Amino acid sequence: MKLRIITLTLGVLMGACGPGNDPQKIIDKAIQNHGGDRYENVLVNFDFRGRHYVMLHQNGSFQYERHFSDSAGQIKDVLTNHGFKRFLNDLDITDTVKNAASYARSVNSVAYFALLPYRLNDPAVNKSYLGTGDIKGELYHKILVTFDQQEGGDDYSDEFIYWIHTKNLTMDYLAYLYHTNGGGKRFRAPFNVRTIGGIRFADYENYQQVDGVKLEDYDEEYSLGSLKMLSKIELENLDVQTP
């Protein structure tokens, strides 16, 4: 009898240590399992769709770079805590660029997705628990993420749902509602998951929207095989350096 009481007590204590259905605790666990403190001081390089990206985190500061060539020469876009700059052949041309805000959003978007779930604890992020969902026989927490207008960027009205594995507490699938370029919905499924320098990365199959389907129900549509793949999101020549 005493053994049974002790066993039950341990079970309760272990359950209390888990994230339960608290979205903040679930996201904290996911960030920890994807890289944790390694995100804070790291240098990441990769190629994406013909352009080279450099992402540096250092003691609370960040610098994201995008390098490519066009008919004018060598372009370098730089986004930091202090703002955005564009360089042409190492000459600062930011003041002459009409679409600087759009370029900044583009660089930030690539960084945001590449480093998920790290950015899910940004100050403007709001998290809500939507319950659980089954994807291909695996059970997931469904976390809705929205953004405050203040500090939420130009795309603050976008919405995301992240599927966090209930046992592994890794962020595997995501879906999002966006409003730029006519708006729409997307669902992403991971492949080529790998850990480099202690940080977990994934490439994604990118699926197009299905009219009339709620964002939180895209896991069901994916499991049924009714989504059509639009593209693949692949980080090539990935290199990670941590202290």
Note the pLDDT tens digit of each residue in 148-177: 976 645 566 799 999 999 999 999 999 999
**Is 216:196 a contact under the CB 8 Å cutoff?**
no
List the strands of the sheet with 125-135, edge to edge: 125-135, 138-147, 159-165, 171-178, 184-196, 199-207, 229-233
Q: Pairing mode, if any, of strands 138-147 and 159-165? A: antiparallel
User: CA-based Rg of the chain, rounded to a whole angstrom?
Assistant: 20
- pLDDT band at 17; cut points 50, 70, 90: low
Per-residue pLDDT at 10 exceeds 60: no
Work out the mean pLDDT of the chain and round it to a whole number. 91
- Tokens (6 digits) for 77: 């876009």
CATH T-level fold of 22-238: outer membrane lipoprotein receptor (LolB), chain A (2.50.20)
Task: Give 146's contacts (C-beta < 8 A, 6+ positions apart).
Answer: 125, 126, 128, 159, 160
pLDDT of 153 reads: 58
Give CA–CA dist 120/201, Å, rounded.
15
- Tokens (6 digits) for 124: 């403007």
pLDDT of 151 reads: 61
Rounded to an integer, the average pLDDT of 217-225 is 96
pLDDT of 7 reads: 38
Partnered with residue 92 across adjacent β-strands are: 87
Rounded to an integer, the average pLDDT of 66-84 is 96
pLDDT of 154 reads: 58
- Per-domain residue ranges for the chain? 22-238
pLDDT of 182 reads: 82
pLDDT of 183 reads: 86
- pLDDT band at 73; cut points 50, 70, 90: very high
Q: Considering the chain, what percentage of its residues have pLDDT values greater than 90?
A: 83
Segment 28-50, tens digit of pLDDT: 999 999 999 999 999 999 999 99
Segment 191-205, tens digit of pLDDT: 999 999 999 999 999
More confident residue, 95 or 1: 95
Q: Could you tell me how many residues make up the chain?
A: 243
Going by the DSSP 8-state scheme, the letter that residue 126 receives in this structure is E
Going by the DSSP 8-state scheme, the letter that residue 46 receives in this structure is E
Give CA–CA dist 162/130, Å, rounded.
10
Burial of 46 (0-12, 13-18, 19+ CB in 10 A): buried
- pLDDT band at 3; cut points 50, 70, 90: very low
Rounded to an integer, the average pLDDT of 52-61 is 96
pLDDT of 12 reads: 39
